Amino acid sequence: MNSAPIGLFDSGVGGLTVARELMWRLPAESLLYYGDTAHVPYGDRTADEITAYGVAIAEHLAHQGCKLIVVACNTVSALALDAVRAAVAVPVVGMITGGAKAAADEANGGTVGVLATAATVRSGAYPAAVTALKPAARVAQVACPRFVPLIEAGRCGFPDSYEAVCDYVGRLPVLDLDVLVLGCTHYAFLASAIRMKLEERTYLVDPAFETAKSVEQMLMDLDLLAAGPASHRMLASGSTDSLTRVNETFFAGRLPAVEAAPVFGTVATASAAG
């Protein structure tokens, strides 16, 4: 099993931010990435839809021989992590725990901010996880429905993406923020713009970094670390455009061409983005 790949999945390109952290931290590990671009965005889908997608994709990755699965999507982690874990016989790592711990560690009497999808905000997963670690912490959440479509369309660095950052960050109590959690893996692509709006006064938590540390520790504990060489694959259930673009710009073309993947569930447009 040591040479088997780590499986990761997300609604689109967001989970590639986790893949990048894993490649830096564990260069000998092979990765199998599934982007559910047929259903992106997940943020305004129902809990039943999100659970069905997460379970089906995790089962597919397990059938592909993955030794561990990373739910590289905060929305699925918030609403369906237990269901995903129950569906497969390999270890499963989610996004919420690591991000919440990092936020709680850095909170120092001020507010913990969370930018996330509408579904993650509705779930209350981050406030629950942060206050479980630091009961006195105050948590302010903002749903950001415009972010994921902009990122999937390659609009980072364009005026419309910065306008969206200004809008959503401006809804937080910026002057009272100790910490801001990027509560969606897509949002790391906007981290520079978010830092500009925060004027460097707030500690920014990217759960992708924390999740990669958790994966490394779990593989060590289970004696499943690979010796290399690494071999990666990328799968997409729908359009391959966004994953191809991120491979070229974010990974300098280091990843292989995107392969077509099975589509699980019906393909229907979400009623709102995010």
Rounded-to-5 percentages of helix, strand, coil across the chain:
45, 15, 40
The stretch 256-265 carries a mean pLDDT of 94
Question: Residue 109: which pLDDT band, with cuts at 50, 70 and 90?
Answer: confident
List, for residues 38-48, the tens digit of each pLDDT value: 999 999 899 99
Which numeric CATH code is attached to 96-207? 3.40.50.1860
Which is it for strands 177-182 and 68-71: parallel, antiparallel or unpaired? Answer: unpaired
- pLDDT score for 80: 97
Cis peptide preceding 229, ω within 30 of 0: yes
> How far is the C-alpha of 114 from the C-alpha of 191, rounded, in Å?
13
The stretch 2-16 carries a mean pLDDT of 97
Residue 156 among the catalytic residues: no
The stretch 191-218 carries a mean pLDDT of 92
Tell me whether domains 6-94+209-260 and 96-207 share a fold.
yes
Spatial CB neighbours of 54, under 8 Å, sequence gap ≥ 6:
9, 71, 73, 76, 80, 83, 84
Structure tokens given for 266: 């019906």
Residue 66 among the catalytic residues: no
Catalytic residue among 66, 144, 156, 184: 184
Angle at 274 between CA 70 and CA 117, to 5 degrees: 65
Question: Residue 272: which pLDDT band, with cuts at 50, 70 and 90?
Answer: very low
- pLDDT score for 270: 42
Q: Which fold has domain 6-94+209-260?
A: Rossmann fold (3.40.50)
> Hey, what long-range contacts does 210-213 have (CB within 8 A, 24 or more apart)?
210/98, 210/99, 210/101, 210/102, 211/18, 211/21, 211/70, 211/72, 211/93, 211/94, 211/95, 211/98, 211/99, 212/18, 212/21, 212/22, 212/24, 212/25, 212/26, 213/25, 213/98
Catalytic residue among 66, 73, 144, 156: 73
Domain residue spans of the chain? 6-94+209-260, 96-207
- pLDDT score for 269: 44
The stretch 233-248 carries a mean pLDDT of 97
Contact between 8 and 32 (Cβ < 8 Å): yes
Structure tokens given for 144: 């950001």
Contact between 40 and 15 (Cβ < 8 Å): no
